[in-house]
């Protein structure tokens, strides 16, 4: 089986080596970039990158600029590394389409677990499966969403969130439950992480965004309106 390719972007060579060594032990192929500009050069040349791990604070071009550029062309999963741990930075990153946030210093084993969880969800979903709910179609294998037959563009995490909602139609879901299932770990952050994603998802779904009901003080419920 061909190794999955991961791009690691960080201006600290010691940090790149640490991450690379742990990923290689898990049989991933790792490409390194020392700044944002180099990362974009590599990304545009190599069409087989399965995931990107990107630092926020870098010379020439910071991590947010890199993500913004990549998201214009690709839904590739992105994990951001930050030394700041600032909530506003995290929300800004999620708004751009970042899939995970990990604060430095971090455990390399935890980082690898996050990488494996994202790749597992994006690569092993049932081939050919299409979910349908009230005019929304999710093509699981292609990671595509169509509204009344017209394709819309969702980030990786927005697709995962919509998928979770559709699978759990009519079920009241707490924010904690959504985080544990969509982000695949206990996220000790503000509930606005979820709210930010739901807001963007509702907007992209247009009229169908009304299917995502807010349950005050708890979370959300996906329910198709009965005509």
pLDDT tens for each residue of 95-148: 778 888 888 888 888 888 888 877 876 654 444 567 888 899 998 777 889 999
CB atoms near residue 33 (< 10 Å): 23
- How far, in Å, CA of 214 to CA of 21, rounded? 43
- Domain containing 78: what range? 5-123
Domain holding 97: CATH number? 3.40.50.2300
Q: Are residues 202 and 172 in the same domain?
A: yes
Q: Where are the alpha helices (DSSP H) in 87-152?
A: 87-96, 108-123
Q: Are residues 107 and 134 in the same domain?
A: no
Whole-number percent of the chain with pLDDT over 70: 86
For 2-30, the pLDDT digits (tens) are 688 999 999 999 999 999 999 999 889 99
Query: What is the average pLDDT across 158-186?
Result: 83
Q: Are residues 172 and 89 in the same domain?
A: no
Domain assignment of residue 227, yes or no = no
- How far, in Å, CA of 10 to CA of 22, rounded? 15
């Amino acid at each position: 089986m061909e190794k999955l390719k991961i791009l690691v972007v960080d201006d600290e060579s010691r940090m790149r080596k640490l991450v690379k060594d742990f990923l290689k032990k898990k049989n991933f192929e790792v490409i390194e970039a020392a700044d944002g500009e180099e990362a974009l050069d590599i990304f545009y040349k190599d069409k087989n990158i399965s995931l990107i791990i990107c630092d926020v604070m870098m010379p020439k071009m910071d991590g947010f600029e890199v993500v913004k550029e990549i998201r214009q062309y690709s839904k590739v999963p992105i994990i951001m590394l930050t030394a700041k741990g600032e909530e506003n930075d995290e929300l800004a990153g999620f708004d751009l389409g970042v899939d995970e946030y990990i604060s430095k210093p971090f455990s390399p084993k935890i980082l690898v677990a996050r990488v494996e969880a994202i790749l597992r969800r994006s690569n092993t979903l049932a081939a050919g499966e299409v979910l349908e709910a009230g005019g929304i179609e999710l093509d699981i294998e292609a990671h595509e969403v169509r509204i009344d037959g017209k394709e819309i563009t969702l980030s990786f995490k927005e697709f995962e969130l919509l998928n979770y909602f559709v699978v759990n139609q009519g079920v009241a879901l707490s924010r904690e439950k959504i985080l544990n299932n969509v982000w695949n770990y206990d996220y000790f952050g503000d509930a606005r992480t979820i709210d930010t994603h739901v807001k963007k998802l509702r907007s992209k779904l247009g009229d169908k965004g009304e299917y995502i009901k807010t349950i005050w003080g708890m979370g959300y419920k996906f329910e198709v309106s009965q005509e």
